[in-house]
Structure 1
Amino acid sequence: MYSDFKPSMDDIRPSVPQQPVRFMDQLRRHMRDSGYAWKTEKTYIHWIRRFIVFHNKKHPQQLSATHVEQYLSYLGNERQCSPATQRIALNALVYLFVKFMGIKLELLNYRKANPKRRLPVVLTHHEVSQILEQLTGNYRLMVELLYGSGIRLNELLNLRIKDLDFELNTITVRSGKGDKDRVTLLPLSLKTVLKAQIQQVEKLHQRDIEDGFGEVYMPYALARKYPSAAKELAWQFVFPATRIGADPRSGVLRRHHLHESCLRKAVGKARTKSGITKLVRCHTFRHSFATRLLQQGYDLRTIQKLLGHSDVKTTEIYTHVLGRGAMGVISPIDSP
């Protein structure tokens, strides 16, 4: 009945030995000791592996700044990677040499390409409605939350029942980008359907308990601090996976949240059916949330707080999407 559905738990760090012998395990251990986010760890490991393979699998101790320059040049010229991608690869290699191996790269002659400013793709309110019309069930509800609250995809998937406050009409985002918590709005129009979703989760959770499961993944050391919390309804994911799988760290069978690829595929199909030609991703609804609030007259500081941006300059890009200046100015000739 239950299978080892690993992809649903690919946001849980796999375990590494306490005294690692393999080079990559040592590197992972070092990143975790330094407090790096799991996504950063995966990204850095990816680029470091590719760097090693590019140099015929030589040990990094045998490589130098010259080899870094060769690889970055290869990415820019042969692979035609964007400046942003080149910058990520460079950051990974700087971490490898400078922070992990203690080798300075002062003689690095590589000249980074200037990053190009890209405006985000946004949908009008009507276009969002067209896509929503092609979605049903949980997929529709999830997209409504992305657009109605401005949360990121991984933040949506990691929502627990306890994070929804129907009295204050708020959603608490735990450990968002930069490992920061924040509070955003809970759309009033979604309260009824969200309560119905929680009732469904409760039934599913009760069935899991009867089958000998019912324990959910707990971040950090909370499982030791609150031993019984893992089976409480409050800690269950709002959008649980359809199957139970094995935790990659402990091997414990449990129900995780829905995998991100499920929603991405549903959004892609809905966009095609709606006839919209824009490149629509799950993150597009977050951009559309911000621009919609600007159109409604909300100030940048408020939008910045809801989005969780550390710098208001990041939020200001949405004024350019609307064809306005940095201060959200409308031309006098266009005023009523």
Structure 2
Amino acid sequence: MFQTAVRRSSVFQPLKYGGKYTVTLIPGDGTGKEISNSVSTIFKAANVPVEFEEIDVTGMDKRDKPTEVALHEAIQSMKRNKVGLKGIFYTPSERDGHTSFNVALRKELDLYASLSLIKNIPGLKTRHTGVDFALIRENTEGEYSGLEHQSVPGVVESLKIITEAKSKRIAQFAFDFALKNNRKSVTCIHKANIMKMADGLFRKTFYNTAANYESITANDLIVDNASMQAVSRPQQFDVLVTPNLYGSILSNIGSGLVGGPGVVPGGNFGHENALFEPGCRHTQLNITGRNEANPTAMILSACMMLRHLNLKEYADLINAATYSVLEDGKTVTKDLNGTANTEEFTRAILEKMERL
């Protein structure tokens, strides 16, 4: 359960026709289509007043003009609808591959705040219990600015961009989130002991912003120490706010604490748009088309989206049914040590919804 903390502009207004919201759906690569189908099936069964405008975009092709056209269509769809649900795009590591479509969407739509909810789910046995923290990362600058060049053969320079303005707005988002969701503390994650100017500015701006939120405890941790603390005593964390790269790493660590990438929901927020997606970004290419994917993260992300649209009753029903199936442990997917496939897991949720 969460409340959106974004400071919206006056033009933010999701499209609604005939009592239904129009939402952009971008399945993504790997198992994206399979887990998106689970959400669509559940929404239909629950009569959720949402119609999906589906745009198929793939990051699998290195350089492909139709693919870039589809990405442009997805961006235009988001600009119309203001709200979207997406899977994860594959990003090639080769130098001749395209830039990250995930990053491109966030930058084009100025989805500056990424939110991942790291929380133990009843029924899923993990090494740690009592884990419940929100990870908020700045989405548009830092190492993900993508500004690289080869100054001379064999020497590459990659620019890390940190600005006071964007550091301030992500800090405000984190503190606003803490206030609206009864969180008690916000921890700034940084490497200011080494990158004294860049991360130093991020940390300084964080504390300047904290002065306006006297009821929230503000503190900070160096990122390597934070990683160690996360795997040894994650219960100490409440809300974490990070530059882009550190948040990417810590979201993966966090997913490992609570059951893996298949169970962590997330979303990306800007002043005019909100795009929800699994909080730990894995395409799961190795099991694509095998009906083995765990759709929990996508389903819970969709529930976050429904709350964002003020459709709380639908979100609560779907969330409760999903948690009930996971707690029963009888019909869970292979990543959770079960034997159910994606469709069986989805049917189990539908059956729970009927009982609830």
Q: Per residue, is there more strand in 1 or in 2?
A: 2
Q: Per residue, is there more helix in 1 or in 2?
A: 1
**TM-score, normalised to structure 2's length?**
0.25
**TM-score, normalised to structure 1's length?**
0.27
The structure whose Rg is larger is: 1
